[in-house]
Amino acid sequence: MIVLIVAEEAAGVQALRCVGGRDDVRIAAVLTSQDDRRGASVAGAAARLGLPLRDPRLVRSPDFAGWIEEAGVDLLLNVHSLEIADAAVAAAPRIGSFNLHPGPLPELAGLNAPSWAICAGRDRHAVTLHWMMAGVDTGPIAYEAWFDVAPSDTGLRVSANCVRHGIPLLERLLADARRGADAIPAREQDLARRRWHGREAPYEGRVPWGLPARAVVDFVRASDYAPFPSPWGRPRATLDGVELEVVGAARSGERADAPPGTIGAARDDGVPVAAADEWVLVQRLRRDGERAAPAEALPAGRRFAVEDHRSVDRTSEEVGLP
């Protein structure tokens, strides 16, 4: 079976190792960014396997469909590449094209699904392997895997769990594909339930002190991809005209008796800041790109600037289709 891989990030590396390690598969080429062929990049992994590398932007052109057909490609696998394949390209492989999406469909279509799931307070999440069609994340679902999201899970942890549960889906696809396209499940999505999420962070990237403590803490942990860059950046908050970044926070469970954004007296487990219902404990902070001690940077009695924010559910529903 001949497979074409379009991949990026750590998920792409693991997918390449999974597919490349099979005796019944030949990889026609790997389409990936080639800025760095060293280390744990997809390009580096492909180079070590002696696989041909090509520009991932090729999938945008309908002309690339001809190359796929001439190469006899059976499957195209897209893993964490943001290049949108032309409809002719997606239709060119003999069996089909498939995308590994780090979220449940159709509810969390688009970008940064793990972070949106945390921000919305979900305690369950999924990774989905679906057929690729002309619309982004709209194709029939072939396989999905659900897993629990713990109250302390960060964006990085949920993303890593998507990869861990997603690689076995690729293995199932490869096994079923040996019997032909009809052996691969194809459950149509209910697009009336579709919610599209773009690149933008909720709350314009600012800590929503005016919302309940759960929303504040969920946003902070949803943005946490340390030690790697966050797709949403670090949550920002303004105190006396100074921009700070809140990178670690926890719920106190204690009712706040001060207006949202008010800073309380520092304690061993963090500096309390009032949300709409209870105190949030700020445990890690950055200022001017450097770590800052919350007890020193947040004087008791001062108040963060508080903006009017809507809930994540309402915001995501109003984003609409791409």
With bands split at pLDDT 50, 70 and 90, how would you rate the model's confidence at 39? low
pLDDT band of 318, cuts 50, 70, 90: very low
pLDDT at 320: 34
More confident residue, 315 or 179: 179
For residue range 109-154, what is the model confidence (pLDDT) as tens digits? 999 999 999 999 999 999 999 999 989 999 999 999 999 999 999 9
Q: What single letter denotes the amino acid at residue 48? A: R
> What does the alpha-carbon distance between residue 256 and residue 259 come to, in Å, rounded to a whole number?
8
33 phi and psi angles, rounded to 5 deg:
-60, 140
Element (H, E) at 158: helix 155-177
Q: Which domains does the chain show, CATH number per domain?
A: 2-197 (3.40.50.170), 204-307 (3.10.25.10)
- The Cα-based distances of 122 to 104, 116, 150, 200, 234 in angstroms read 12, 9, 9, 19, 21
Q: Give 168's contacts (C-beta < 8 A, 6+ positions apart).
A: 145
Q: How far, in Å, CA of 81 to CA of 64, rounded?
A: 17
Q: Is the pLDDT of residue 272 over 90?
A: yes
Q: Is-contact 186 142, C-beta < 8 A?
A: yes
The confidence score (pLDDT) of residue 241 equals: 95
Rg (CA), the chain: 22
pLDDT of 208 over the 50 cut? yes
pLDDT band at 322 (very low <50, low <70, confident <90, very high): very low
Confidence of residue 34 (pLDDT cuts 50, 70, 90): confident
C-alpha dist (Å) from residue 85 to 31, 91, 139: 12, 10, 13
Share of the chain above pLDDT 90, in %: 92
* DSSP code per residue over 33-100: --S--STTSHHHHHHHTT--EE-GGGGGSTTHHHHHHHTT--EEEEES--PPPPHHHHH-SSSEEEEE
pLDDT per residue as tens digits for the range 221-233: 999 999 999 999 9
Do the beta carbons of residue 60 and residue 83 sit within 8 Å?
yes
Could you read off the pLDDT of 72-89 as tens digits, one per residue? 999 999 999 999 999 999
Band (pLDDT 50/70/90 cuts) for residue 35 is confident
